[in-house]
Chains A and B, each alone.
Chain A
């Protein structure tokens, strides 16, 4: 079945560091790909999505490019801030049902000043 893999469970950075969180997927066709961010005590919040090869999504300084060749949708940010500390989830939309999103295991980002 469709799945999404995030390799980093936790990432620790200093402010102004460059961030990369890896996301790889396994699915047929062109599933929609999403990034969500979750702060403590809150529900996940949508960051952005992409649904076509080479399409770039971006929001709040974060960006990711849909790459069908490498089946990836890696999250990047050029300069992180302490306020970016949160859990980030990559999610995959089921292209067959059209209405189901499967979340990756999540990456906890901790940014220290």
Chain B
């Protein structure tokens, strides 16, 4: 899948700070960060539409999203906790506008974070 690229693919952290990067080549206007813990479904963390943060689920403040342009999404992580060990997926979709049915999500391959 080269339509949505994520980096790094694997990340092992102590208490350091790090950023995850995502770029989509689909021309979509909505981008998402999902967290998937082992044996669990993906859970929405953040949602951007046209570079505006419009959905921010209950996420610890050590996770800070950034959307520098409509095709890029960053997730800055500081002082990670063992409960943060998971795969972080970037996704995108083409939305027709608020209040209308959602479009299908396209997911990247994920960034696997392991907290020591």
Contacts and interface: CB of A to CB of B under 8 A. Distances in A.
A46 B106 contact: yes
B99 interface: yes
A100 B42 contact: no
Interface string B30-55: 10000000001111100101000011
Interface in A10-52: 30-32, 34, 36, 41-46, 49, 51
Nearest to B91: A43
B83 interface: no
B104 A43 contact: no
B55 A43 contact: no
Interface string A81-105: 0000000010001111111111111
Contacts of A36: 105
B88 to A, nearest CB: 10
B84 to A, nearest CB: 19
A96 B99 contact: yes
B47 A99 contact: yes
A24 to B, nearest CB: 15
SS class of chain B's interface: helix, strand, loop or mixed? loop
A35 B107 CA distance: 14
A101 B104 CA distance: 9
A100 B47 CA distance: 8
Contacts, number: 73
Q: Interface residues of A toward B: which range?
A: 20 to 34
Nearest to A50: B101
A43 B44 contact: no
Nearest to A34: B104
Contacts of A34: 104-105
B44 A93 contact: no
Contacts of A32: 101-102
B58 interface: no
